[in-house]
Amino acid sequence: MIKRLVFGAIASMVASAGPALAGPYFNPEYNGANYDGEYLGGTVTLDIGYEGGGEGYSWYVQGGPAIVMPEGADNEVEFAGKFGGSVDVDSEGKYSVYGELSGITGDEFGWGSKLGAKVKF
């Protein structure tokens, strides 16, 4: 029940947010995990970040507390952070590539990466 309440509160904050501007921002996020149809738990991050950029590129850095909620175990508070950016690959900004590196503290430091492309219509 608590996990649904947290997720609902975060979803309503995100839905009511206005347009993004360069500079500081707040980024609440919920990530859940399932394996073979079984819910394993989730993590709520409450990051404060800063973004910037220029002609044809953008970047961001963010971090804050992460509430780790494994199914059937006690919740823990860790620290999570990420940084990344994107670069246009054409002069009109229609095509871009992006990347991100992220990490979270805990018994063992966990990290992740993301690489992708975007096409604007």
> H or E element: which one contains 69?
strand 57-70
Distance CA 75, CA 28 (A): 17
| pLDDT, tens only, 22-66 | 899 999 999 998 989 899 999 999 999 999 999 999 999 999 999
Around Cβ 19, how many Cβ atoms within 10 Å?
4
Distance CA 68, CA 25 (A): 22
Closest CA to 80 of 51, 48, 58, 115: 48
Q: What is the pLDDT of residue 9?
A: 53
Q: What is the pLDDT of residue 3?
A: 53
Name beta bridge partners: 44.
30, 67
| pLDDT, tens only, 4-25 | 555 555 555 544 444 545 899 9
| pLDDT, tens only, 86-112 | 999 999 989 999 999 999 998 889 999
